[in-house]
Amino acid sequence: MGALHLITAGESHGPGLTCIVEGLPAGLEINRAAIDRDLARRQLGHGRGGRMKIERDRVEVTGGIRHGRTLGSPVALQVENLDYANWKERMDPWPVEGEVVEVHLPRPGHADLVGTQKYGLGDVRDVLERASARETAARVAGGAVAKALLSSFGVQVFSHVTQIGAVRAPQRRDLGPEDFAGVDDSPVRCLDADAGELMVEEINRLRKANESLGGTFEVLAFGVVPGLGSYASWQERLDGQLGQAILSIQAIKAAAIGDGAEVAGVPGSHAHDEIFWDEQRGYYRETNRAGGLEGGMTTGEPLVVRAWMKPLPTLTKPLRSVDTETHEPAEALRERTDSTTVPAAGVVGEAMVAFVLADAYRRKFGGDHIEDALSALRSYEQRIGWRRSAH
């Protein structure tokens, strides 16, 4: 379906992760530091566990880029798992001499149990290693490449945390790119300093009680041209594609565009964004309840995507489960884990939104070289009289 493809491979404690991005134009400038910056941002956040002290995620490129520019061939990105050194025997791709201890205690809320049933695997580790959110490091590397494409089209993608556990930040409807300059300085990537402090306290309190925490985050994209996606076919509707991309992130249970579920309860006259036009700005809205999407298409207003994350299912105080060998009641696997990863999930959300938008730009404007894509975009912007700076 799409014009751009992103595929990941790799297990959490295996040798490393791979991301292949296929369908990029040639001539696109890629900055290694920008990919590494996003990888590092994904490792941040108060509430991370011991693993993040081991990893220093950095990208290695093994295909598709030469001297900092794409070649038009698939781009292959690798992120090493430094922890593999401690797991070599248990995760070696090839047979090993010694006995390797198996896991038979599936965690409720994880892929563990059904994964073993579906794939006919006796060792839960064969499932959990791939189901782990470590995989998102590969998505973020690919997402950084998608962001490079978007940036040449004048699009910027940001995220911020809006809730952790029971602590919510005040809702902001007036955000612009400039508001995100310091978001990564907050230990929970929250734009509201007071709420951020309360979130940190909430994490500390629940961590002591051996609990994990969920939360919500918002991804915003600025400078998106109107008309990406389409109302004409259900598969082309961009809200559907964004929903799939966001809900595919480990532990995400709900996604919304703009005011999302909230508009279900308000009268129609308060649910939509009235249309205005003036010489300088062209068409514009004074509100953005629709989150930049109408009829499955971008409107030119900022794209707003929200996501709800469940508390992580690996608990230091494990839930009841069943031993898959003996079928006896047992406690679920107790493993080193994070207390919360909502701040990191926001960075993963950026990557997924960037990928969906980059794919939509590729489909609409094509072009084998980035300059071809840019001239197609410019001529379209001119035809519809769209002025990016006014939105």
Contact pattern for ligand EPS over residues 287 through 326, marking x by CB under 6 A: ---------------------------x------------
Nearest residue to 227 via CA among 287, 334, 153? 153
User: What's the rounded Cα separation, in Å, for the pair 273 and 173?
Assistant: 13
Closer by beta carbon to ligand EPS, 91 or else 246 = 91
Strand order in the sheet with 215-222: 167-168, 156-164, 215-222, 303-309, 252-257
| Residue whose CB is less far from ligand EPS, 4 or 348 | 348
The CA distance from 299 to 311, in Å, is 34
Which positions from 135 through 194 interact with ligand EPS, judged by CB under 6 A? Answer: 137
Quick one: 28 or 347, whose CB is closer to ligand EPS?
347
| Distances 362 to 2, 122, 132, 228, 365 between C-alpha atoms, Å | 9, 43, 30, 10, 5
Stretch that binds ligand EPS, among 70-78, 185-193, 331-339, 379-387 (CB under 6 A): 331-339
- Nearer CB in complex with ligand EPS: 184/335: 335
Count the residues of the shown chain that bind ligand EPS, applying the rule CB under 6 A: 14
Burial label for 282, CB within 10 Å (0-12, 13-18, 19+), is middle
The yes or no reply on residue 336 touching ligand EPS (CB under 6 A) is yes
Binders of ligand EPS among 6-25, rule CB under 6 A? 12
What is the sign of the dihedral through the CA atoms of 219, 225, 227 and 228?
A: negative
**Cβ–Cβ under 8 Å, residues 155 and 28:** no
Contact flag: residue 212 with ligand EPS (CB under 6 A): no
Interface mask toward ligand EPS for 338-367; x: CB under 6 A = x-----------------------------
Distances (CA, A) of 168 to 67, 164, 165, 171, 221: 45, 7, 8, 8, 22
Query: Please, are residues 223 and 156 in contact by the beta-carbon 8 Å criterion?
Result: yes
Instruction: Give the chain's length.
Output: 391
Part in contact with ligand EPS (CB under 6 A); list of ranges 47-55, 159-167, 197-205, 294-302: 47-55
| Options 132, 186, 298, 321; binder of ligand EPS; rule CB under 6 A | 132
Q: Is 46 in the site for ligand EPS (CB under 6 A)?
A: no
* Residue 49 is a binding residue for ligand EPS (CB under 6 A): yes
Distance CA 304, CA 345 (A): 16
- Binder to ligand EPS among 41, 104, 134, 391 (CB under 6 A)? 134
Residues within the interface to ligand EPS (CB under 6 A) = 12, 49, 51, 55, 83, 132-134, 137, 314, 335-338
